[in-house]
A and B are shown apart, each in its own frame.
Chain A
Amino acid sequence: MSNHLNPGDMKAYTRRSFLQHSSLFASAALTVPAFLQSSALALPRAMTGLSSIAGVDEDRILVVIQLSGGNDGLNTLVPFGDDGYRRVRSRIALSADEVLKLNRNGGLGLHPSMGGFKGLYDEGMCAIVQGVGYPNPNRSHFASMDIWHTADTNGTGDGWLGKYVDSQCCGYGSGTPGAQTALNQAQNDPPPPPPPPLIAIGKTAPLALHGRTMMPVAIESADMYQWTGDKMGKGMVKAYNRSIEERSEADTASGADDNKSFLVRTAMDAQVSSKKIRNAVNEKSLVQYPNSSLAKQLSMVASMIRAGMPTRVFYVSHGSFDTHANQGGAQGTHARLLKQLSEAVGAFYKDMKAQGNDGRVLSMCFSEFGRRVGQNGSGGTDHGTAAPMFLFGPMVEPGLHARYPSLTSLDNGDLKYTVDFRQVYAEVLDDWLGASSREVLGRGYKHLRVLKR
């Protein structure tokens, strides 16, 4: 490896070799494109003092699980002990016998199909924040989703996680780019394109991930994440790779950083990372995942974490929870959605444990709004307001947080929120991602202490 630091011997470590000898991946830490630089590899990471939780690995990951369509919070975290609950939900209410009780006399329980969540809860890996919402609730799916994504009650502006990246530059904390530059100078290599600190699993990246610094990467499946020209014959692949490598070498020699060399670097990274991601995803998981779209998404996330990708935020989604009609009680549509959610998250944390990565991965589950307290005429529920948020991982302060909104003191038939969702964002930003929530969210919010200190 020492000759890699000798600028006179540049040819030895240009990226060309990676397309030709992919077996070098494992050893050539310094020359793997930035996209793939694993936390375990040689990059010094100036992250000291970034976070306030002692004894936790600095390579932290946040997984956001979006429940699209408005999850019915009342039938998720069920106030079965409250007469008011059963009275207005005669067709869909869950009884004391059915729910998975969380506390002995509090009268709260999880929906019966949420065994996975209950397991994590009992292990001390689940924090539930009750009554989460925001002022002047908007009951339009899009508008409310935008509000959650932008952390702005007008729902305008950039996404909160995009702004987080903007505030950090590349998602590594402000100290790192300097370290990377120094390293690159030693290598006499142009600076690599910033790695994707944010990856959405799906067709497109949600607004939450959009910022100014870069466009978030969206990966629907590893099969889609490749150049399809390679299906047109070996000669094509060879010609394509050769053209790109030649340009890459020329740019390396000249140190160019114009749009063309930026595109060449990205094309190079795309070729290499495509292979890496396909390999990662094709690798057999350490645990068995159930068969649902969310489980597939989370298992993809798990394989990327296992492959050592430096991504800080993964975004997955599940739904639709828009249960206007025939929502069901212990069985039915809502029960099925919650079962898929709870089983997928349960399997994901089993996998994280098996990988030894559980301590690095915080997950956060939200929906754009809850649903109305009373059922409607179609055995379903209409758009409402406050609902619980769930956070998972050994770093959470387990148990119930904040207060359950009153079922009697309502705002036009809707729950009054007791916690602003931005309080949770702020804590995740400050204490988990090591950012400044004040900078990202535009002002400070009181922490609830849902994360351990």
Chain B
Amino acid sequence: MHAAGTQTARGRVGTFSAVKEEGFGYKEARHLLLRAGFGGTYEQIHTLARWGPERAVDHLVGYGEIPNETDLGSAFLDDIIRPLSRTERQELTRARQMGDEDTVDRYRKERQKRQRQDRGQMRDIQRAWLTWMVQTARPLEEKMTLFWHGHFATSFRNVEDSWHMYSQNQMLRKNAMGNFGELLLGIVRDPAMLKYLNNNQNRKGSPNENFGRELLELFSLGEGNYGERDIKEAARTLTGYTFRDNDFYFNHNQHDKGNKRVLGAVGNYDGDALVKIILRQEACALFVCLKLYKFFVRDIPMDLSVVDLVTRKVLLQMAMMLRKGGYEIGPVVRKLLMSEHFYDSINMGTKIKSPCELLIGSVRSLGVPVRDIGVVSEAMDLMGQSLFLPPSVKGWDGGRNWINTSTLFVRQNTLIYLLTGALPTRPGFLRDSSYFDPLALVPSLNTPVESDSSDELIVRELMELTLGGGDESMVRSVVDGAVQGGTMRESEAVVRALVLLTSMPEYQLC
């Protein structure tokens, strides 16, 4: 189904070696910003193009150098959901024994109140993250955090503790471009994940294999690189890995202290030791690189044997680099983003944008106002991507899975909302009236009126910004639809042109 890597007409696909300075212009810089960030304005694209591939990629990957102003979490509470204190527990138990329904009821109401409050906080955190994606000067940091959120998919639905979700997000952000071993270690000790995959019920003598299975299958090795026995034994190493309130807690009494035989090793292992054993497996680096490749380059099957030779070679080189580099992620991503392969025509403008890429990218590249972040996050939900609420532990499948007739309408209509303030659900007079000035988007709009920027030139430039190009017949259609008796110099006309351009199927691609 997916466009598996195939040889191009030229008979070869760009290799892993670095793209040449002269092979890096506007198109390539735009591609880099879309994939390693959330797209950019006309000026940003040109600046990166002028810098050349090395400086451009280093600027994005080396985001640690860029000052980071916002502390996402200063406003969030860590104790909305908290365990009952000893006194409270005693009072409740006593009330239950005595049949004191009023007290039991009071506790129930208090719990429900806190759960409501916590759902509200989760919504606030979700919106704060989206807002931060729009504002950050380090787009790749958020992009990578999003990648890991999809990789170590955890959902608030089952975790039911917004602070745990938030803490996990911070852990992922901190290690986003760091070391995969650290991330894996972070995740086996992460309260949200331990709750999500029922590891708090994984006890000596009565193991729950949920976490053990996903750890091997989805987080590190991939199907086919372990046996059922490994899962059972991995689950034993993870017994007693749980949390107390907001912190990881290793429950010695629940930990199985016997010998385990897992992935060819034998010993009295715990979860931390299991992580080290996993990292020794050759399959691990390749699996992580496949996921990175799918995220940044192209949707390919997870089965290497059906991937074209050049892509396979790139993947093997990435995996080798990751392993030899002690699982440091940054150098691999840097090399990938700088590679000839990354800028091959089969990899440019061919990937279906995630809802997040679509919306955040539109705001960042067109400068449209966010208007109502609640509407934006609800729209993302309708498109199938709610942050902190992935559909399952497998994360978001992406690719063509994002698209059907109903999600396509939501995608187009949300762009219309951002551009015009009109919501399909609200009558016209209730439209959001935040000001959007599209008259500085492209150079031809920036010139004095008496200059001879034709309507076609303006649309052509808008088309390059939004779609990366297009043919003359599209230019004509857009001019016809947008001008409506005036000229392309009027902001209404530019907005109409943008509505048409962002409604084009190509706008869903990056």
Known A-B contacts A227-B413, A239-B500; the reply to A377 vs B198 at CB < 8 A is no
Known A-B contacts A214-B401, A236-B500; the reply to A263 vs B409 at CB < 8 A is no
| A239: chain B residues within 8 A (beta carbon) | 477-478, 480-482, 500
Q: Are B404's CB and A214's CB within 8 A?
A: yes
A50 within 8 A of B: no
* Chain A proximity of B120: nearest CB distance (Å): 17
| A233: chain B residues within 8 A (beta carbon) | 484
Q: Are B406's CB and A225's CB within 8 A?
A: yes
* Chain B proximity of A55: nearest CB distance (Å): 34
Q: Are B409's CB and A236's CB within 8 A?
A: no
* Chain B proximity of A262: nearest CB distance (Å): 6
* Chain A proximity of B216: nearest CB distance (Å): 14
Interface residue stretch chosen among B58-66, B237-245, B392-400: B392-400
* Chain A proximity of B464: nearest CB distance (Å): 16
Whole-angstrom distance between the alpha carbons of A236 and B412 in the complex?
A: 14
| A215: chain B residues within 8 A (beta carbon) | 384, 401-404, 407
A157 within 8 A of B: yes
User: Could you say which of A214, A223, A236 contacts B424, with CB atoms under 8 Å apart?
Assistant: A223
A267 within 8 A of B: yes
| A430: chain B residues within 8 A (beta carbon) | none
1/0 per residue, CB under 8 A from A, across B411-434: the answer is: 011001000101011001000000
Interface residue stretch chosen among B161-169, B263-271, B443-451, B501-509: B501-509
* Chain B proximity of A243: nearest CB distance (Å): 5
Q: Are B408's CB and A270's CB within 8 A?
A: yes
Q: Are B160's CB and A142's CB within 8 A?
A: yes
Q: Are A246's CB and B473's CB within 8 A?
A: yes
Interface residue stretch chosen among A117-125, A202-210, A352-360: A202-210
Whole-angstrom distance between the alpha carbons of A324 and B509 in the complex?
A: 48
B352 within 8 A of A: yes
Known A-B contacts A227-B503, A259-B509; the reply to A203 vs B474 at CB < 8 A is no
Task: Across the interface, name the chain B residue whose C-beta is closest to A157.
Answer: B392
User: Could you say which of A226, A242, A266, A376 contacts B105, with CB atoms under 8 Å apart?
Assistant: A376
B277 within 8 A of A: no
B499 within 8 A of A: yes
* Chain B proximity of A316: nearest CB distance (Å): 16
Q: Are A210's CB and B477's CB within 8 A?
A: no
User: Could you say which of A231, A238, A247, A377 contacts B422, with CB atoms under 8 Å apart?
Assistant: A231
Interface residues on B, range: 35 or more
* Chain A proximity of B118: nearest CB distance (Å): 13
| A146: chain B residues within 8 A (beta carbon) | 157-158
Interface of B is mostly: helix
Whole-angstrom distance between the alpha carbons of A269 and B499 in the complex?
A: 20
Q: Are A142's CB and B158's CB within 8 A?
A: yes
* Chain B proximity of A211: nearest CB distance (Å): 9
| B480: chain A residues within 8 A (beta carbon) | 235, 238-239
A407 within 8 A of B: no
1/0 per residue, CB under 8 A from B, across A356-385: the answer is: 000000000000000000001110000000
User: Could you say which of B210, B391, B403, B504 contacts A243, with CB atoms under 8 Å apart?
Assistant: B504
* Chain A proximity of B469: nearest CB distance (Å): 12
A183 within 8 A of B: no
- Name B359-407 residues within 8 Å CB distance of A: 381-382, 384, 391-394, 397, 399-407
Whole-angstrom distance between the alpha carbons of A215 and B351 in the complex?
A: 17
Q: Are A260's CB and B509's CB within 8 A?
A: yes
Q: Are B408's CB and A258's CB within 8 A?
A: no
Task: Across the interface, name the chain A residue whose C-beta is closest to B198.
Answer: A154
| B350: chain A residues within 8 A (beta carbon) | 258-260
B496 within 8 A of A: yes
* Chain A proximity of B500: nearest CB distance (Å): 6
Whole-angstrom distance between the alpha carbons of A189 and B319 in the complex?
A: 41
| A203: chain B residues within 8 A (beta carbon) | 381-382
A103 within 8 A of B: no
1/0 per residue, CB under 8 A from A, across B259-287: the answer is: 00000000000000000000000000000
Q: Are B384's CB and A377's CB within 8 A?
A: no
Whole-angstrom distance between the alpha carbons of A107 and B302 in the complex?
A: 57
| A236: chain B residues within 8 A (beta carbon) | 481, 496, 499-500
Q: Are A218's CB and B406's CB within 8 A?
A: yes
A224 within 8 A of B: yes
| B481: chain A residues within 8 A (beta carbon) | 235-236, 238-240
A232 within 8 A of B: yes
| B393: chain A residues within 8 A (beta carbon) | 156
1/0 per residue, CB under 8 A from B, across A248-279: the answer is: 00000000001110111011011001100000
| B506: chain A residues within 8 A (beta carbon) | 260, 263
Task: Across the interface, name the chain B residue whose C-beta is closest to A233.
Answer: B484
Using a CB–CB distance below 8 Å, which chain A residues touch chain B? 35, 140, 142-143, 146, 154-158, 193, 196, 203-204, 207, 210, 212, 214-219, 223-229, 231-233, 235-236, 238-240, 242-244, 246-247, 258-260, 262-264, 266-267, 269-270, 273-274, 324, 376-378
* CB pairs A–B below 8 angstroms (7 shown): A156-B392, A214-B400, A227-B413, A239-B477, A240-B500, A240-B503, A243-B474
Known: A259-B3, A259-B509; 14 extra A-B contacts, CB below 8 A, are A140-B158, A142-B160, A155-B158, A157-B392, A214-B404, A225-B405, A227-B413, A232-B420, A259-B351, A270-B409, A376-B101, A376-B104, A377-B102, A377-B105
A-B pairs with the 8 shortest C-beta distances?
A377-B101, A239-B481, A263-B505, A270-B405, A239-B477, A217-B406, A228-B413, A243-B477
